[in-house]
Amino acid sequence: MGLIKNIFGKKDKLKESVDLSVLRCDVHSHLIPGIDDGSKTMDETIGILQEFKKLGYKKVITTPHTMSDYYRNTTDIILSGRDKVREELMLRGIDLEFDAASEYYLDEQFEERIAKKDILTFGDNYVLFELSFLAEPMALNRVIFELQSAGYKPVLAHPERYPYFYPDFEKYHSFLDKGVILQLNINSLSGGYSPASKKIAQRMIAENMIQFLGSDCHHMGHVNAIKIESSKMIALKELIDSGRLLNDRL
């Protein structure tokens, strides 16, 4: 009851910003220049990473989109881009660990990649994947099974942003029952996407359902929003203090 009361009670602002250094690692961003809808240039990428460092992060695992019909990234494209960012960080003397996986869109190509084991993972064989924002994919349960059968641990990106799940909150519990890990976007807790996604995010935190927290950073505006809004994110502090997050183990 204490957690739910703190999140949904009258208190609407912390005395100070949340200490994000406790997380140590960000697990969701789009910071390889020019390969998806995220950072456009190396200077932009480095500027954003410097802000992550100021926030206390020690490591950033960036996750460019991989989609069969739009962002046709390959493992080689992503790893080559990662290496270029690493080189630039070293040249500029910025002490921040940088790695890459991908945010895979659930489509036929994703299933083909799973079958070939051509998948970029992070941590303990975690695979970040996303869904359509319009409708639940018919293949969702099958793909979760395929991932797990291939030895991967599925991580569903920003479940709070899929509106078709809102009327049936038990759907989120069903993911946990299947062994799917849920990754929440920090800016969802400020209402940055919608009031509805904020409400769902708060409820998932209150029910101890979140294990990864990510920025989903595409540009400097996302980092600035975290800096400005974090003192208002009561649920963010509750989540970080809960000890349930896996970020600091990566």
Q: What is the pLDDT of residue 233?
A: 85
Report which residue type is found at 196.
A
Rg of the chain taking only CA atoms, in angstroms:
17
What pLDDT sits at residue 230?
78
DSSP string across 208-237: T---EEE--B-SHHHHHHHHHHGGG-HHHH
State pLDDT tens for residues 53-67. Answer: 999 999 999 999 999
State mean pLDDT over 41-49.
Answer: 98
Which domains can be identified in the chain, with CATH numbers? 19-249 (3.20.20.140)
pLDDT digits (tens, 9 = 90+) for 231-249: 778 999 999 999 999 999 9
